[in-house]
Structure 1
Amino acid sequence: MMINATMLGSFTLLGLKNTTAKYRLMLFTLTLLCYTVIILVNVALVLTVILDEKLHKPMNIFLCNLCFNSLYGTAAFHPKFLFDLLSNSHVISYSGCLLQVFFIYSYATTDFSILAVMSYDRYLALCRPLEYHSIMTKHRVALLVCFSRLVPMICQAVVIIMTSKLTLCGFQIEKLYCENWSILKLSCYSTTLNNIVGFIVILIYCGHALFILCSYIQLVKFSLKYPECKKKFLQTCMPHLICLINVIVALLFDVMYARYGSESVAQSLKNFMAIQFLIVPPMLNPIIYGLNLTEVRKSFLRQCKYNKQVGRLE
C-alpha cells in the first residue's frame, strides 16, 4: 500500500535505527563537543576580525563570511541530530525536512562560492598587486559577498520548490538528516526534470571548481616565476587550498554516497560519509586560517591577553 508522505505530513529518519543506547550516548557526547568547538572557533575568528580595524581587509571579510556560513549550516543539523540521539522517535515534519535540505545544501554550495571568491582575491593580491586596491573596492567586496550567498540560495530555492511539488509514496529517509536525493527516491512519479535541474546546479559548481583551478594555476606559475612571492603564497594561499581540499573531499563523500551508495555499506560508514561535510570543514577552516595567518593569530592572542587583564582588574 502506497502512503503519500505529503498528506502524512512527516518523515522518519532511519540513520540511527540500529544504534544502541550505549553508542547513542557516546555519539551525543562527541557531537556536542564537536558542535561546541565549531561555535567557539568560528565565533572567535569572526569577533577577532570585527574588533580589530587593522583586519578589515577583503580576505578577512571573506573569511568571516566563511565562518558565518559554517554557523548557519551546522545550526540546521546539529541541534536536531542531538535531539534524535536522546529520542526513540526520529521524526521530522514535511516542511521542516524541506527547510533542512535548503539550509544544509545552501550552506554547502555557499562554502564553494566563498572559496571561489577567495581564490579570485588571492589571484589579484599576488598576481596584480598594483591594481588590487583599485579593483577590490568596498563596493566590489560587498558585491562578491552578496554573490557568494545569494546565488547558492537561489539555486537551492529552485530545487526545493520543485521537490515540494512532488507527490511522494513513502515517508522513510535512510539518513541522519533530510537530503534532496533521498526525497526524490520517494516520488510516485518520474523525477527526470528534478534530476536535470540538480545536474545543472552541480555543473554550476563544477564551473566554480574550474575557476578556482585556473586561479591556482596562475598563482603557482607566478610564485615560481618570482621567488620573493613564494613566502606570501605559502602564508596566505596554502590555508585557502587546504580548506578547499577539505570542503571538496567532504562534499564528494556526500554526493557520491547519495547518488551511488551501495546497500551493502555499513550504516556507521554511511552516517560518517553523510555528515563529514557538516563537521570537519566548519571545525578545521577557522583553525587552519587562525594558525596560519599571522595578523589574525596575533590579534586574537592580543585580544585574549587584554580581556584577561580587564578580568583581573574587575
Structure 2
Amino acid sequence: MEASFNITYITLDGYIQVQKYKYVYFFIMLTAYIVIMSCNSTIVCLIVTTKNLHEPMYIFIAALLMNSVLFSTNIYPKLFMDVLSESQVISYSACLFQWFIYYSLGGSEFLLLAAMSYDRYVSICKPLQYPTIMRKRNISFILLVDWLLPVCQFAPSIALNANTKLCNFTFRGIICNSTVVRLYCVSPREQNIYGLVCLVNILLLPVLFIFFTYTRILITSYQSCRAVRRKAVQTCLPHLLVLFNFSCLSAYDILLVRLETHFPKTMSLIMTLQVILYHPLFNPIIYGLKMREISKHLKRLFCPEKII
C-alpha cells in the first residue's frame, strides 16, 4: 500500500491469531529477550572483567555472544510493537534495514566461528607459534574483518533492492529476511547472482575452512597423547555444537524458504521462532556449561558459598 509521504508499507502476515494470543506472544517474547540479554551480557562482562579470560579463544566467544545481543536487539523491539498493535506493518525501508542487519550479523557469526576454529587449530597443531600468530593486533584485525566484511558484502545488495518495484505488499513472515524477494514484480538476475556470491563468501567458504581446520585438529589429536586429545575435545566440542546448530537454522532460512513452495504458516512461524528464540540462547548455554574456565567463574559469581 502507498501511504502519505510516498512511504511503502508491507503487512507482516506470519502470525497466527495474533489478536487472540497477543499477550501470550508478548509474554513469551519479552521473557525470551530478557533471558537472552541477561545470559549473553553476563558472560561477555565476565570475560571483559576477568584477566585470566583475556585470551583469544574467550575474546572470540565474547564477540560471538555480542552478536547474539545485537541480533536480538534488531528483532525483538519490532516484535513487541507488532503483537500489541491492531495491524502488523513495516515500512519497506525499515524492512530492508532489518534484513541488512539480520544477514550482516549472520555472516559475522560464520566468520567468527571460522576465526575460533583457526585459533584452536594454531593452539593444538602449532602450539609453539601460537603466541606469535595470535597476538592482540592480529586478533583485533580478525574481529574487524569479521564484522565489516559482511556489512560491505550485503550493503550493495540492499542498495540494489531499495529501488526494486513491489507487486505484493503482504509478507508471509514476522521478520524481514530473504523471502522479501517474493514481493518483487521481477527478481533481477544481477541481484540473484550477487546474492549467490555473498552466500559463497560469507557462508560456504568459512564452513569449508572450519571443516579443514577441525580435520587437521582431529588428525593431530589422534597422533598425540591423551592430554592433547582431552584439550581438543574440551575446547572444540562447544564450537562444533554451535556451528551445527547455526548451520541447520541458516540452511532453512537461506535455502528452504526461498523455494517456490509455500510452507504452512504454522511451520514457518515455528521455524522463525527457532531462529530468534533458540539460537541466541543456545550459545551462552553451551559456552557457559562446556567451557571449563567460563563455567568455573560463573559458579563463583552465582554460588560463591559452594566454591571451596
Q: TM-score range by the shorter chain?
A: over 0.9
Match of 2:191 among 186, 194, 200: 194
Structure 1: runs of 5 or more not aligned? 308-314
Note if contact 1:102-1:160 (Cα within 8 Å) is conserved in structure 2. Answer: yes
Decide whether the 8 Å contact of 2:172 with 2:265 is kept in 1. Answer: no
CA distance in 2, matches of 1:261, 1:277: 21
CA contact (8 A) 2:168 2:183 kept: yes
Q: Deviations over 1:173-223 (max 9, x none)?
A: 1111112332x2222334111100111111112011100111111111111
Give CA-to-partner distance per residue, 1:65-114, whole Å, 9 cap, x none: 00111011111111111221122210112221111111111111111111
Q: Secondary structure at the match of 1:185?
A: helix
Decide whether aligned partners of structure 1 residues 71 and 107 sit closer, same or farther in structure 2, where only a CA change above 3 A counts.
Answer: same
**Structure 2: 5+ residue stretches without partners:** none
CA contact (8 A) 1:10 1:93 kept: yes
TM-score by length of 2: 0.92
Between 187-196 and 142-151, report the one with greater CA deviation: 187-196
Superposed counterparts of 1:118-133, under 5 Å: 118-133=116-131
Deviation at 1:229, TM superposition (A): 1.0
Q: Does the residue aligned with 1:12 lie in a helix, a strand or coil?
A: strand
Query: C-alpha deviations, 1:107-129, integer Å up to 9, x for none?
Result: 11111111011010110111111
Contact 2:238 2:290 in 1 (8 A): yes
Q: Counterpart in 1 of 2:153?
A: 155
2:252 corresponding residue in structure 1: 253
Per-residue CA deviations over 1:14-66 (Å, capped at 9, x if unaligned) read 112x4254433323222222211111110000011011111100111111100
Among 194, 200, 209, which residue is 1:203 paired with? 200
Measured in 2, the distance between the counterparts of 1:66 and 1:261 equals: 33
Whether the 8 Å CA contact 1:109–1:152 is kept in 2: the answer is yes
CA contact (8 A) 1:9 1:94 kept: yes
> Within the alignment, does 1:87 sit opposite 2:85 as a pair?
yes
User: Which residues of 2 match residues 234-245 of structure 1 at below 5 A?
Assistant: 234-245=233-244
Shift of 1:272: 1.8
Whether 1:178 aligns to 2:176 is yes
2:26 aligned partner, one-letter code: F
CA distance in 1, matches of 2:20, 2:186: 40
Corresponding residue for 1:13?
12
| Superposition RMSD in Å | 2.1
Q: Distance between the aligned counterparts of 1:275 and 1:191, measured in 2?
A: 30
Mapped to 1, the partners of 2:274 and 2:259 lie a distance apart of: 17
Structure 1: distance between partners of 2:82 and 2:241:
32
Tell me, yes or no, if the aligned pair for 1:4 and 1:169 is still in contact at 8 Å: no
Show the 5 A alignment for 1:40-189.
40-182=38-180, 184-189=181-186
Q: Shift of the alpha carbon at 1:279?
A: 2.1
TM-score (norm 1): 0.91
Q: 1:261 to 1:294 in 2, by over 3 A?
A: farther
Task: Kindly indicate whether the alpha-carbon contact (under 8 Å) linking 1:77 and 1:100 is maintained by their aligned counterparts in 2.
Answer: yes
**What is the 5 A alignment of 1:199-238?**
199-204=196-201, 205-226=203-224, 227-238=226-237
Q: Secondary structure of 2:183's partner?
A: coil
Distance of 1:165 and 1:229 partners within structure 2: 55
User: Runs of 4 or more off by more than 3 Å in structure 1?
Assistant: 3-8, 20-24, 303-307
Are 1:67 and 1:286, in contact at CA under 8 Å, matched by a contact in 2?
A: yes
- Rounded to whole Å, the distance in 1 between the matches of 2:261 and 2:184 is 20
Q: Which amino acid aligns with 2:13?
A: L
CA distance in 2, matches of 1:206, 1:296: 30
Alpha-carbon shift at residue 170 of structure 1 (Å) = 2.6
Q: In 2, Cα distance between the equivalents of 1:230 and 1:193?
A: 48
The one-letter code of the counterpart of 1:46 is V
> What letter matches 2:192 in structure 1?
N
Cα distance change on mapping 1:20 and 1:169 into 2, 3 Å: closer
